[in-house]
Amino acid sequence: MVKKDYKRLKGCQSFRQRLVLATLSGTSIIIEDIRVDETFPGLLKHEVSFLRLLEKICDGCYVEINEAATKLKYKPGIVMGGKNLAHDCGVSRSIGYFLEPLLVLALFGKKALEIRLKGITNDSKDPSVDTFRSTTLHVLKRFGVPSEGLDLKLESRGVPPDGGGEVVLSMPIVQSLTAVSWTDEGMVKRIRGVTFSARVSSQFEHSMIHSARGIFNRLLPDVHIFTDHKAGPQAGKSPGYGISLVAETTSGCFISVDTAVSRDHAEETSDFTDDEKKGLIPPEDVGQQTAYALLQEIQQGGVVDSTHQGLLFLLCALCPQDFSKIRVGQLSQHGIETLRNISEFLDLKFVIKPDPKTHTVILKCIGSGLKNLSRKLS
């Protein structure tokens, strides 16, 4: 046997994906130079928290971090899954940050996973919990994930800075995924959405809905946006409001955008920086902007929105050795990073061909043929 060699990586970019791919492909990795030159060097809170989460759901994995937390050594174990697990995600990133890798990992576990995640359910950086419910789980179903036992339950909302939200994720396991040929994006037949308000007046929601509907009504009559006003302990610890919109097409694709507005933490830098200096965005503008953003996503085309590109590519790569064919809009930065990570860990490249007529990109690949190795043979 050759002595165990570690794959050496640099920097903390696409940290989650690397760990997920390392776990699934059974590669040991060393990540070096994690934020060496920055004011706060090393791994951040949420990254450490993610490592803790990994340790929780895996068996026999080994994590070693140096003193300054600029170097990480990770030896993957076996994804165990299991019931009645709980994890506190902290407040530096939202639950969406943890859910994204967890969805993929849990599929290849020994047992079905049921985990309670605490933290921020909605913020502007990561896809919100509502988006996961409305869109992401549907993407998984496309790849042959059984819908029984696939659920994300929202117990309470939580927005930055203090969080206090709680969700329960249950994921089934699969033997292997099935390859997809998913290029028909269809036409948008309905738009659905959820607004939420926590520790603020429910009137905020109505103004958001009103402004968003005003835009969609020019294109489509079938628009329903639901409200979800939370009060008391269910509303978490900080005030905030937000909206998540989903466009469903005739071919069963879901395209979503979401955002949330709340007071920010001091160190957080987001796309709202400029606006927030003036103050929080008024709900009308939030509704409007989100609606425009959804239209933009629709305009881009593709079977998923830009947020879900990475997940889509990852799932395609984990399929059996058949051709998968998918269509996305512009390749997002995250999508490209995903493609690179996949080629690095699974030695698998996509054929990427632009479709100039529609300004979309068609990707094809042969799956890596990953099977759920941790599943027990009965």
Among 48, 52, 59, 284, binds other proteins (CB under 8 A): 59
Query: Smallest distance, Å, CB 166 to other proteins?
Result: 21
Among 48, 63, 85, 215, binds other proteins (CB under 8 A): 215
- The residue from 46, 206, 334, 359 that is catalytic is 334
Among 89, 311, 315, 326, binds other proteins (CB under 8 A): 311
Among 115, 140, 177, 370, binds other proteins (CB under 8 A): 370
Contact region with other proteins (CB under 8 A), list: 146-154, 194-202, 235-243, 270-278: 270-278
Among 66, 147, 201, 270, binds other proteins (CB under 8 A): 270
- Tell me the number of residues near other proteins by CB under 8 A: 116
Query: Smallest distance, Å, CB 103 to other proteins?
Result: 12
**138 carries an active-site annotation:** no
Three-state SS string over the chain comes to: CCCCCCEEEECCCCHHHHHHHHHHHCCCEEEECCCCCCCCCCCCHHHHHHHHHHHHHEECCEEEECCCCCCEEEECCEECCEEEEEEECCCCCEHHHHHHHHHHHHHCCCCCEEEEEEEECCCCCCCCHHHHHHHHHHHHHHCCCCCCCCEEEEEECCECCCECEEEEEEECCCCCCCCCEECCCCCEEEEEEEEEEECCCCHHHHHHHHHHHHHHCCCCCCEEEEEEEECHHHHCCCCEEEEEEEEEECCCCEEEEEEEEECCCCCCCCCCHHHHHHCCCCHHHHHHHHHHHHHHHHHHCECCCHHHHHHHHHHHHCCCCCEEEEEECCCCHHHHHHHHHHHHHCCCCCEEEEECCCCEEEEEEECCCCCCCCCCCC
Residues 70-99 that bind other proteins (CB under 8 A): 76-78, 96-97
Residues 142-201 that bind other proteins (CB under 8 A): 179, 181, 183-189
Residues 9-38 that bind other proteins (CB under 8 A): 9-17, 24-26, 33-35, 37-38
* Nearer residue to other proteins within complex by CB, 207 or 256: 256
* Nearer residue to other proteins within complex by CB, 190 or 234: 190
Among 202, 227, 234, 343, binds other proteins (CB under 8 A): 343
* Nearer residue to other proteins within complex by CB, 229 or 335: 335
* Nearer residue to other proteins within complex by CB, 207 or 341: 341
The answer to whether 121 contacts other proteins (rule: CB under 8 A) is no
Catalytic residue set: 334
